[in-house]
Amino acid sequence: MRTSILVLLCCFFAFTTHAQHSKINVVVIGAHPDDADVDVGGTAYQFAQMGHNVLFVSLTNGDAGHFSKGGGALAKIRMKEAEEAGKRIGVTYKVLDNHDAELMPTLKLRHDIIRIIRNWNADVVITHRPYDYHPDHRNTAIAVQDAAFLVTVPNVAPDVAALKVNPVFLYSHDNFQKPNPFQPDIAVDISAVYDKKVYGMAAHESQFFEWLPWLNGVLEDVPDSEQDRLEWLGKMRLITVTPAMRKSLEKWYNTETAEKASAVEAFEICEFGRHPSDEEIRTLFPMLGK
């Protein structure tokens, strides 16, 4: 028992020393190019503006996500869109060459994720929850969860040094209720930077102005001018701030912020990673209120 306590204290000391004296390293892992932008774009922009390092990862190349384009040609388009999106909000974008709609949580994929997290020396890893309509989203979540502990195990993917401190793993927000609804353990007010998030998302033109409107039967409603498109996209993608999110905002900011926030990104702590204290969360998310 005494040994276990000493180990935990050493890990906490290592974390606090790292967090206080270096930049925060965040990895957001989505199934497709544009997933990270939708779920974490506003928070990522704030991290970047504060001088921290954010990596967006897409585990597929997005080569199936369109009604009239596909294959290698679409994959190239989506790669360019991702690169542009990263530039717009100040993050690095990495797109893996796995086929869209065919992603499986294989051992190879798990090792690829472990290497990415280690190479970025991640403090925080954010991904989908495993409850989702899209199999790529579900399998992304499974693969990241499977990597969560193993990033600290030296004999797994030994070509890249294991992390000494396990990152905090988080799920991004969704509205699925079964088997468990999303729990907003952390809520970030992005009201002041929502336009920056939308501008980054808009770089994924093939998705937000072609494919997704086509899927939803509103392709004819997409405006022609860039400014009108930004306004249209901002309205279409603004999520409802739930009472649970406002309660979380009140915890991390204050009552006034909770009441006034018009745009929020929320995250649920994954139990497979490190279990952070409130103090650690405030250190890892320096944009939160004091």
Establish if 165 belongs to a structural domain: yes
**The model's pTM:** 0.93
Residue 11 lies in a domain: no
* Number of domain units in the chain: 1
129 falls within a domain: yes
Is 220 within the bounds of a domain?
A: yes
State the pLDDT confidence band at 9, using cuts at 50, 70 and 90.
very low
Q: Could you count the other beta carbons within 10 Å of the beta carbon of residue 9?
A: 10
Query: pLDDT tens across 92-140, in order?
Result: 999 999 999 999 999 999 999 999 999 999 999 999 999 999 999 999 9
Distance, CA of 47 to CA of 26 (rounded, Å)? 9
DSSP 66: -
- State the average pLDDT for the chain: 94
Q: List the CATH number of the domain containing 272.
A: 3.40.50.10320
Paired strand residues for 93: 56
Please name which of 212, 191, 196 lies closest in space to residue 265, comparing C-alpha atoms. 191
Domain annotation covers residue 43: yes
Token pair of 8, please?
A: 């935990």
Asked if residue 94 lies in contact with residue 85, where contact means CB atoms within 8 angstroms, the answer is no
In a domain, 75, yes or no: yes
Q: What is the mean pLDDT of residues 5-13?
A: 46
Domain annotation covers residue 40: yes
Q: In whole angstroms, what is the distance from residue 210 CA to residue 214 CA?
A: 6
Lowest mean pLDDT among 6-15, 76-85, 154-163: 6-15
Q: Which of 130, 136, 155 is nearest to 272 (CA)?
A: 130
Q: Is the pLDDT of residue 4 over 60?
A: no
Does the residue 228 lie in any domain? yes
Determine the average pLDDT of the residues in 171-199.
98
- 61 lies in which domain range? 22-284
CA 227 to chain centre: 26
Which of 181, 182, 160, 165 is CA-nearest to residue 173? 182
